[in-house]
Amino acid sequence: MGMLATMKPKQQYFRAIAIGLGAFAIACSAIAAGCVEQPSGLGPPPTSGGGPADGGSGDSGLSVISGRDLFESMQADLMSACGTCHDIAGFADTPFLAGPDRYQSFVSWPGIVAKDPESSLLLTYALIGKGHSGTNLDVASLKDTLLPKVKAWLAQEAQNFTEPPPQAGPHIDPFVPIMGFNAIYLGAFGPDFEGMAITFQAELLGATLELTNIELHPTSKTGVKIVHPLWVVHPLGKDPNPDPVDSFSNVDTIYEAGESGPLGPGTLVLVNWTEDAKLSLAFELIEKYSPASPDAGDGGPTDGCKDIASFDANAKERFQICLNCHGGGNGQATSSVDMTTLNNDSAKACGQIKNRINVDNPTNSQVFVVTNPGGNAAHPFKFAGQAGAFNTFRDSVSLWIAAEK
């Protein structure tokens, strides 16, 4: 059946009083006393006094130290210790120190910054005995120099987290978007959502943030229903600030198992973006969607690929390198793109992988964007920085993608 999208009619809702963090609208029954008609769902709240940018004194009156300032004070030491592996095309497949804006790359890499500093990958992985094969931050030459700076920076970044208020409903924790390809996983909503993701491209246009190619990816076995997503900007040292025009307010969409599709209009321009802000995403409703047919969702759409012969000839062998994670070795990776049938049922595997290709512009396919050693997408495999190996993979798989158009 594919993706089903309908426009949701206006409903009756309370308007929460804007205090503290700035409340969002909350739903109410049409018969409840004091109801007033408001836009459906999680609409932006009324403003409650300006911050420094608009003549006010801000929310707390306290001076906020940007994590960028502390990062710049340790950047040279960090690049000396970690840059060989973690710059673009470094020895590791994690370019979280990519230039030109290394701070933005560092803070936006998943797991680097956390509300609890001790849960950062820098302190749970990049230390002796934690499994990290590169330079650890607590080696003799760094434990009294770089490591204290890293801990101070993490503590400062943790102070600059703000949460959407409870009225916002279920939400993704604030994060710093990568300038480029982003994949935001929905597993925090429960086991049914493990492996589901919202992907998009982010780009700064002057003082605004543009999100394009916004897509929702269910898993091969489970669909999802989304109602009224609300994008929220978290400015540094200020209250959360939702999309001022509530661009996705009429979204009420079902994504069937194994079938990805655009989220809302697929594009968004956030005119309320500010430097070093974070982003979160709230939902009026997000729930598992169970297909009517008991045979649906068993590994991808059966009619997903047009040219299985081309897939077998040009792509199947190339995707063998992905099986360590997508063949069952990593639960989230397997749920996201299930390749468990790659060697015994090409049609099902092809149907799954097709959800991450772009037949109109093959080089912009997600399977290439995330694995490109010259890109900064957060993906744990980038051909170990070997551009030649990536080019061979891309050129061969592109022959199959062209056959799918």
What is the share, in percent, of the chain residues with pLDDT greater than 90?
66
Pairing of strands 223-234, 251-255: antiparallel
Res. 286: pLDDT tops 50: yes
Provide the mean pLDDT of the chain: 82
Question: What is the per-residue pLDDT for 292?
Answer: 58
Question: What is the per-residue pLDDT for 331?
Answer: 87
Q: Assess whether 165 and 236 both reside in one domain.
A: yes
Check residues 130 and 14 and name the one with the higher pLDDT: 130
- Band (233; pLDDT cuts 50, 70, 90): very high
Question: What is the per-residue pLDDT for 9?
Answer: 34
The predicted-structure confidence for 380-405, as pLDDT tens digits, reads as follows: 899 988 999 999 999 999 999 999 98
> Closest Cα partner for 247 from 225, 223, 224, 271?
271
How many other CB atoms are found less than 10 A from the CB of residue 395? 12
Terminal CA-CA length for the chain: 20
What is the share, in percent, of the chain residues with pLDDT greater than 70?
80
The predicted-structure confidence for 298-343, as pLDDT tens digits, reads as follows: 444 445 799 999 999 999 999 999 999 999 998 889 988 999 999 9
Give the separation between CA 41 and CA 28, rounded to whole angstroms: 10
Q: Assess whether 105 and 15 both reside in one domain.
A: no
In a domain, 225, yes or no: yes
Number of domains the chain contains: 3
> Closest Cα partner for 198 from 286, 272, 271?
286
Structural domain including 263 reads 4-62+160-289
Compute the average pLDDT of residues 112-120. 93
Q: Assess whether 37 and 173 both reside in one domain.
A: yes
- Point out the least confidently predicted range of 61-65, 96-100, 248-252, 257-261: 61-65
In a domain, 299, yes or no: no
pTM over 0.85: no
Question: What is the per-residue pLDDT for 237?
Answer: 86
Question: What is the per-residue pLDDT for 258?
Answer: 85
Question: What is the per-residue pLDDT for 47?
Answer: 38
The predicted-structure confidence for 151-203, as pLDDT tens digits, reads as follows: 999 999 988 888 876 667 899 999 999 999 999 999 999 999 999 999 999 99
Q: Assess whether 98 and 141 both reside in one domain.
A: yes
Q: Assess whether 108 and 176 both reside in one domain.
A: no
Q: Assess whether 98 and 197 both reside in one domain.
A: no
Domain boundary among the residues 140, 159, 178 is at: 159
In a domain, 301, yes or no: no
In a domain, 82, yes or no: yes
Q: Assess whether 47 and 165 both reside in one domain.
A: yes
Compute the average pLDDT of residues 266-278. 95
Compute the average pLDDT of residues 366-377. 92
Helix axes 146-159, 67-86, angle to 10 degrees: 130
